[in-house]
């Protein structure tokens, strides 16, 4: 079955539509082309095609073709009146491009459907006759469409003479009928504006999604009604806030990169807002870890609707090993740590503010040791934080928001505020989107583990050093390093360490990059603490004593007169 994006036109109705399409090429000064209305809402095709893409595609791109086409026809009309043949010739490429864009997109909106379904019996029979099966037709059209060089379209068309179905591709906005003589039945737009915001430059994933829609959830009560149904209330003492806007939850899931067939662990699902978005995105297995028993019935309701894809674990996320959960259930495709492509797995969470920092430290420790979910490869991690903490995690060098957690996060991952490329312009989630609304806004950070961490030293050594340096963030870095050593040798050892890594003693913590901290951790060798080493220090107490006759304690013991001071 083709869900959502379907061949909705039968062989007979397609001819009528293209007859109307040919009318677009009539140059008239009296009639203007207009942007056709979408027969559904912008978000009707989610999660396959996002509301943002649909709005830009229809309101911006298609509208531009219509505007340009009207302007060109005005120019053509004037050139005809003046019999300016050179002008007419010069306008033809632009006219072909914009008229083709208007024709192609007018067809596209009609062959996309929000409810899914099967093609008509007549069209199904023709597909089976000419391709053998629906699946073979999909494979051939997908391969041809993916292979389009640059921008263009993949089409399923019908020859008006032989009545046979054929697959064709057209470059740019060349219309199918004018280019090949085929009448279009179904088209796939592979201009990047049709998919880049959601699928980046991975065209095969987009084309695959057109045909193989992920399983959708059956109709469920609205999230707000869901909360009232189960009488759920956020507990202030647990820093709980429910994210109610499903558009935002879906946006978080898209930013996390969840795709059809992926495995996802969601920490702190609450009433299941983000959980719904994950299931809608087509995840084949979703494990949710929730400690609050009040949310379990609501999550069980979702689990029943998800037909076995949602698994509930009532547990403390700080004490739960996600990797064990996945391994026990047969995680399908762990990848090598150095593979460029991440494994088909994700950890996602809208966390209570009071556990966000301890949890990210736990996960960073597991990343450094390749433990927990990171036994499966470089699994990306997407978490919500107070906006101040989110910006701190991604803070650059010499920024006042830079802190211990900035260094630790950037030492082992590449943290990015999602929805935007830069920190200052980052899209935030307003506190008003939550119930109850917190007094702060929220940011979403996606962590991609580094293939090679910046630090080779044990995580505990790095964390200890960074913590001590940032404990005196307003002081010189020397001040924090001295606290790592006994007072008697602190000055010498701290200066020695800074000389080795070529860092000025008078710099401050926020002016150092992760490379400098990694180098300091590597040079901060543990002290060989022994009784002899302590006894050799100035003013050692007790003073060093030597046994007068032998260096080994005799089994029968010793007398005081045998010692020499």
Q: Cβ(106)–Cβ(184) under 8 Å?
A: no
**Which ranges of 47-120 does DSSP label H, i.e. alpha helix?**
51-55, 63-82, 85-110
Q: Which helix (H) or strand (E) holds 480?
A: helix 477-482
Alpha-carbon distance of 378 to 564, in angstroms, equals 63
Alpha-carbon distance of 392 to 385, in angstroms, equals 10
Q: Cβ(383)–Cβ(445) under 8 Å?
A: yes
Is 290 annotated in a binding site? The answer is yes
Alpha-carbon distance of 209 to 219, in angstroms, equals 21
Instruction: Give DSSP secondary structure letters for 394-425.
Output: T--TT-TT--HHHHHHHHHEEEEETTSSSSTT
Helix 63-82 to helix 85-110 angle (10° resolution) is 150
Alpha-carbon distance of 168 to 170, in angstroms, equals 7
- Please list the residues that pair with 285 across neighbouring strands: 263
SS3 assignment, position 2: strand
Cα separation values, 101 from 307, 348, 476, 548, Å: 42, 39, 62, 101
Q: Give 73: exposed, middle or buried? Use CB within 10 Å, 0-12, 13-18, 19+.
A: buried
Is 560 annotated in a binding site? The answer is no
Alpha-carbon distance of 335 to 375, in angstroms, equals 9
Is 350 annotated in a binding site? The answer is yes
Is 189 annotated in a binding site? The answer is no
What phi and psi values does residue 136 have, to the nearest 5 degrees?
-70, -35
User: Could you give the angle at the alpha carbon of 448 between the alpha carbons of 55 and 345, nearest 5°?
Assistant: 80
Q: Cβ(364)–Cβ(356) under 8 Å?
A: no
Alpha-carbon distance of 435 to 432, in angstroms, equals 8
Cα separation values, 113 from 103, 186, 293, 469, Å: 18, 12, 40, 58
SS3 assignment, position 46: coil
Is 52 annotated in a binding site? The answer is no
Q: Cβ(280)–Cβ(310) under 8 Å?
A: no
Q: Residues near 327 by Cβ (< 8 Å), separated by ≥ 6?
A: 375
Helix 273-280 to helix 246-256 angle (10° resolution) is 60
Is 531 annotated in a binding site? The answer is no
- For the chain, what is the radius of gyration of the CA atoms? 33
Task: Give the tokens for residue 60.
Answer: 């911006």
Alpha-carbon distance of 472 to 477, in angstroms, equals 8
Q: Cβ(294)–Cβ(303) under 8 Å?
A: no
Q: Cβ(473)–Cβ(403) under 8 Å?
A: yes
Task: Give the tokens for residue 393.
Answer: 């995690």
Strand runs (DSSP E) across 463-564, as ranges?
Answer: 546-547, 563-564
Residue numbering of the annotated binding site: 241, 243, 268, 290, 316, 350
Residue numbering of the annotated binding site for S-adenosyl-L-methionine: 241, 243, 268, 290, 316, 350
């Amino acid at each position: 079955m083709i869900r959502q994006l379907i061949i909705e036109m039968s062989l007979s109705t397609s001819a009528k539509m293209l007859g109307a399409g040919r009318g677009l090429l009539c140059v008239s000064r009296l009639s203007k082309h207009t942007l056709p209305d979408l027969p559904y809402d912008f978000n009707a095709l989610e999660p396959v095609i996002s509301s943002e893409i649909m709005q830009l595609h229809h309101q911006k791109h298609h509208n531009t073709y219509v505007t340009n086409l009207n302007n060109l026809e005005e120019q053509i009309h004037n050139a005809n009146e003046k019999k300016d043949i050179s002008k007419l010739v010069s306008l033809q490429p632009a006219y072909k491009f914009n008229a083709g864009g208007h024709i192609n997109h007018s067809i596209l909106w009609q062959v996309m459907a929000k409810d899914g379904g099967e093609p008509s019996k007549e069209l199904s029979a023709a597909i089976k006759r000419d391709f053998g099966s629906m699946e073979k037709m999909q494979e051939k059209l997908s391969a041809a469409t993916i292979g389009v060089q640059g921008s263009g379209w993949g089409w399923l068309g019908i020859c008006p003479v032989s009545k046979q179905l054929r697959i064709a591709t057209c470059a740019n906005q060349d219309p199918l009928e004018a280019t090949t003589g085929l009448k279009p039945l179904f088209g796939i737009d592979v201009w990047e504006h049709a998919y880049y915001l959601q699928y980046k430059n991975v065209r095969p994933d987009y084309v695959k999604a057109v045909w193989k829609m992920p399983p959708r959830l059956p109709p469920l009560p609205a999230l707000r009604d869901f909360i009232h149904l189960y009488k759920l209330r956020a507990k202030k003492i647990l820093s709980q806030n429910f994210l109610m806007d499903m558009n935002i939850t879906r946006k978080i899931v898209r930013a996390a990169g969840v795709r059809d067939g992926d495995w996802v662990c969601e920490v702190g699902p609450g009433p299941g807002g983000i959980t719904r978005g994950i299931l809608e995105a087509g995840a084949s297995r979703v494990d949710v870890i929730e400690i609050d028993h009040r949310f379990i019935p609501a999550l069980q309701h979702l689990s029943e609707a998800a037909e076995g894809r949602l698994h509930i674990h009532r547990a403390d996320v700080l004490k739960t090993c996600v990797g064990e959960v996945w391994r026990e259930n047969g995680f399908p495709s762990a990848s090598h740590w150095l593979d460029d492509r991440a494994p088909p797995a994700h950890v996602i969470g809208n966390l209570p503010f009071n556990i966000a920092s301890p949890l990210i430290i736990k996960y960073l420790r597991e990343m450094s040791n390749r433990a927990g979910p990171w036994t499966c490869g470089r699994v990306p991690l997407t978490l919500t934080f107070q906006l101040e903490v989110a910006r701190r995690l991604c803070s650059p060098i010499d920024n006042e928001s830079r802190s211990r957690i900035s260094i630790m996060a950037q030492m082992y991952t590449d943290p990015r505020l999602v929805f935007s490329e830069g920190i200052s312009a980052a899209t935030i989630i307003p506190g008003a989107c939550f119930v109850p609304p917190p007094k702060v806004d929220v940011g979403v950070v996606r962590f991609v583990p580094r293939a090679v961490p910046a630090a080779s030293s044990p995580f505990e050594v790095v964390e200890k050093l960074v913590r001590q340096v940032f404990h005196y963030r307003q002081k010189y870095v020397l001040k924090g390093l001295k606290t790592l050593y006994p007072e008697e040798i602190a000055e010498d050892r701290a200066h020695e360490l800074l000389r080795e890594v070529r860092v000025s003693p008078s710099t401050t913590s926020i002016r150092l990059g992760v490379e400098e901290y990694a180098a300091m951790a590597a040079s901060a060798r543990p002290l060989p603490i022994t009784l002899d080493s302590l006894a050799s220090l100035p003013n050692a107490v007790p003073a060093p004593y030597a046994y007068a006759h032998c260096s080994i304690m005799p089994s029968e013991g010793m007398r005081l007169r045998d010692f020499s001071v």
